[in-house]
């Protein structure tokens, strides 16, 4: 015989306090998928992955992280900030390029300053939020990818602004390319961090190559400067005697 539906619940079920004979402790079993929030049947709850979205329900990856829940928002906000930076930055760079061409070769000296301001704006305004969610190696790589891009593309590109007219094209192109490099690499790293994918071999090879080339060039410039200075001093000595 079936129980009448109106049967009151025993007090111990309503107040499951310890020592009151409440229901025995049962391990936490989600009745919904923590990822897609679809309800799960008892059989589905025991599965290793959700039948609706196929994401893991157990193991170290079974728990959504902050990045999993906020990824779309972070990604959209970064894209919006890139649009904003391009909107303001392109006309500003065009004006700076005209000013740089007016002071001729002196305009070259503006390049490091423009590059530094641009790098700080990208770092502080555009990619800071995404970088917080990257692992330590990815955070290091996105930082150095930006520095190398600014060193090898930014400095010559912005220095070329000293050239009349063509300098405007060079300045604007440099600004857009550097903004996109920093944005795309960070967004791509964030997507891979979210799907728990490891760093790729080419990322590590490219970063190591750029670091090695940069060190060799810097050492070369220092050694070259010392050699030229020493030769000049020797030559002046020799001519003086
Ligand atoms: Zn699901």
Expressed in angstroms and rounded, the spacing between residue 197 Cα and the centre of ligand 1 is 20
Beta-carbon neighbours within 5 Å of ion ligand 1 = 33, 35-36, 50, 52-53
Expressed in angstroms and rounded, the spacing between residue 35 Cα and the centre of ligand 1 is 5
Expressed in angstroms and rounded, the spacing between residue 66 Cα and the centre of ligand 1 is 16
pLDDT bin (cut points 50, 70, 90) of residue 58 is: confident
| More confidently predicted of 1 and 40 | 40
pLDDT bin (cut points 50, 70, 90) of residue 16 is: very low
Q: What pLDDT, on the 0 to 100 scale, is given for residue 29?
A: 56
pLDDT bin (cut points 50, 70, 90) of residue 27 is: low
Percent of the chain with pLDDT over 90: 66
Q: Which residues contact 35 (CB under 8 A, 6 or more apart)?
A: 50, 53, 55, 64, 68
Whether residue 130 has pLDDT greater than 50: yes
Expressed in angstroms and rounded, the spacing between residue 192 Cα and the centre of ligand 1 is 20
| More confidently predicted of 157 and 10 | 157
Whether residue 73 has pLDDT greater than 90: yes
123 neighbors 179 (Cβ within 8 angstroms): no
Whether residue 198 has pLDDT greater than 80: yes
Domain layout of the chain by residue ranges:
29-60, 66-198
Q: Which residues contact 120 (CB under 8 A, 6 or more apart)?
A: none
For residues 169 and 166, give the distance between their C-alpha atoms in angstroms, rounded to a whole number: 5
158 neighbors 111 (Cβ within 8 angstroms): yes
The string of pLDDT tens digits covering residues 93-120 is 999 999 999 987 888 899 999 999 999 9
Whether residue 22 has pLDDT greater than 60: no
| Average pLDDT of the chain to the nearest whole number | 88
Q: What pLDDT, on the 0 to 100 scale, is given for residue 25?
A: 54
Token output for 62 = 């079974």
Interval 233-241 mean pLDDT: 87
CA geometry: angle 65, 67, 68, nearest 5 deg: 65
DSSP per residue over 201-231, as a string? HHHHHHHHHHHHHHHHHHHHHHHHHHHHHHH
Q: What pLDDT, on the 0 to 100 scale, is given for residue 63?
A: 81
Expressed in angstroms and rounded, the spacing between residue 196 Cα and the centre of ligand 1 is 17
pLDDT bin (cut points 50, 70, 90) of residue 43 is: confident
Expressed in angstroms and rounded, the spacing between residue 231 Cα and the centre of ligand 1 is 72
The DSSP bridge partners found for residue 56 are: 49
Expressed in angstroms and rounded, the spacing between residue 36 Cα and the centre of ligand 1 is 4
Expressed in angstroms and rounded, the spacing between residue 49 Cα and the centre of ligand 1 is 8
Q: Of how many residues is the chain composed?
A: 241
Expressed in angstroms and rounded, the spacing between residue 57 Cα and the centre of ligand 1 is 8
| More confidently predicted of 214 and 36 | 214
For residues 57 and 51, give the distance between their C-alpha atoms in angstroms, rounded to a whole number: 10
């Amino acid at each position: 015989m079936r129980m009448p539906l109106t049967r009151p619940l025993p007090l111990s079920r309503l107040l499951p306090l310890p020592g009151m004979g409440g229901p025995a402790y049962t391990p936490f079993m989600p009745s919904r998928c923590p990822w897609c929030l679809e309800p799960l049947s008892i059989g589905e709850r025991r599965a290793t992955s959700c039948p609706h979205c196929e994401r893991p329900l157990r193991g170290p990856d079974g728990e959504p992280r902050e990045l999993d829940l906020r990824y779309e928002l972070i990604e959209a906000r970064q894209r919006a900030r890139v649009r904003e930076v391009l909107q303001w930055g392109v006309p500003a760079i065009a004006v700076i390029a005209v000013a740089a061409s007016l002071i001729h070769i002196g305009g070259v000296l503006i390049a490091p300053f423009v590059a530094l301001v641009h790098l700080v704006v990208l770092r502080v305004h555009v990619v800071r939020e995404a970088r917080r969610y990257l692992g330590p190696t990815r955070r290091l790589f996105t930082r150095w990818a930006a520095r190398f891009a600014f060193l090898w593309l930014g400095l010559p590109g912005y220095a070329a602004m000293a050239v009349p007219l063509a300098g405007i094209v060079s300045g604007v192109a440099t600004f857009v390319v550097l903004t996109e490099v920093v944005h795309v690499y960070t967004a791509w790293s964030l997507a891979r961090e979210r799907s728990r994918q490891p760093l790729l071999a080419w990322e590590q090879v490219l970063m190591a190559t750029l670091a090695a080339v940069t060190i060799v060039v810097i050492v070369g410039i220092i050694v070259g400067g010392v050699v030229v200075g020493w030769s000049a001093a020797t030559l002046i000595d020799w001519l003086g005697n």
